[in-house]
Structure 1
Amino acid sequence: MKRDRPEPDLLAVAARWAADPAGWPVPLRFDPAERWYARLAVAADHEVWALSWLPGQGTDLHDHGGSAGAFVVLAGALNEETVGGGRLRAHRLAAGSGRRFGVRHVHQVTNRGDVPAVSVHVYRPALRRMTRYALADGRLRVAEVAEAGIAW
């Protein structure tokens, strides 16, 4: 009888990668022009990314194209804003904290602090597309659909 392996806890996977940046296959770097990111690993059921954020750098409001995920803040702090009740709700994530999210999660993440931040993100399945949104009159409106291999 075939035994199915349990799916890994994505937050635990992110925490393991965050605990050993010296073991990453690419060196961490900071880009003053734009937020830096690099894929650290890909497995059959998930992928792992590192991101660096200089003060003021952030993402647009976006989803993960049907992928669930998790991320851990390794250094600095990040502000995550999610949509609720037709407006953005802010959550601050300090170094050492993280969160899981489901396949329908829409958020934007920004370094609003005055020191650089680093985070590790894990997605299941691997990202194939991301939809960017605008919040207008309390409603999400699709602004762009970005495809893996083309947009990143």
Structure 2
Amino acid sequence: MSDHLAVARTYAATPDLWPVAPRFNPIERWYHRLSIADDHEVWLLTWLPGQETEIHDHGGSAGAFHVFSGTLTEDTVSTGVDGTPRVVSRDLGEGADRRFGSHHIHRIVNRSADPAISIHVYGPALTSMTKYRIEPGGLRVLTVERAGAQW
């Protein structure tokens, strides 16, 4: 099994080997799969100021991400014993990285004034992502997206 964080760091250290150059889309986050292997896949994402994901999980995949440039904020969502959602925010600047398990629920947002680039590794490769909304009684499922259909 791959060390997802080591894979992300390796890609971050060798941008000249990326098959595409990062692009920025003013309408939505840009992303491109850099690589797929038997036990993981690697994605390159770009973030203009204000761009973000919805609150989501990774469909049972674990992984890691590395901030190649800029600053991103990760809002991690957990639920207490009573089901009440708790959000913890953490700013991650250039060079910062983070591992996460297969039940991780979060949102990533560029709250800075500068563009950001990040590298994400998922193992196994993503097959679905569930998007959520925080409500007073807990997390509510909004959609379940499938690889090959929505991305």
- Same fold, judged at TM 0.5 (above): yes
- 1:57 matched to 2:51? The reply is yes
Match of 2:28 in 1: 34
Match of 1:148 in 2: 147
> 1:34-88: CA deviations, max 9, x gaps?
0000000000100000000000001000000000000000000100001134232
List 4+ stretches of structure 1 deviating above 3 A.
none
What's the secondary structure of 1:145's corresponding residue? Answer: strand
Match of 2:133 in 1: 134
- 1:124 matched to 2:118? The reply is no
What's the secondary structure of 1:95's corresponding residue? Answer: coil
- 1:69 matched to 2:68? The reply is no
Amino acid corresponding to residue 64 of structure 1 in structure 2: H
Per the normalisation by structure 2, the TM-score is 0.94
What's the secondary structure of 1:119's corresponding residue? Answer: strand
Per the normalisation by structure 1, the TM-score is 0.93
Amino acid corresponding to residue 36 of structure 2 in structure 1: V
- 1:109 matched to 2:108? The reply is yes
Q: 2:12 aligns with which of 12, 18, 33?
A: 18
Unaligned runs of 5+ in 1: 1-6
Q: Take 1:138 and 1:20, find their aligned partners in 2: how far apart are those partners? A: 45
Is the Cα–Cα contact under 8 Å of residues 39 and 50 in structure 1 kept in the other structure? yes
What's the secondary structure of 1:13's corresponding residue? Answer: helix
Q: Take 1:138 and 1:122, find their aligned partners in 2: how far apart are those partners? A: 32
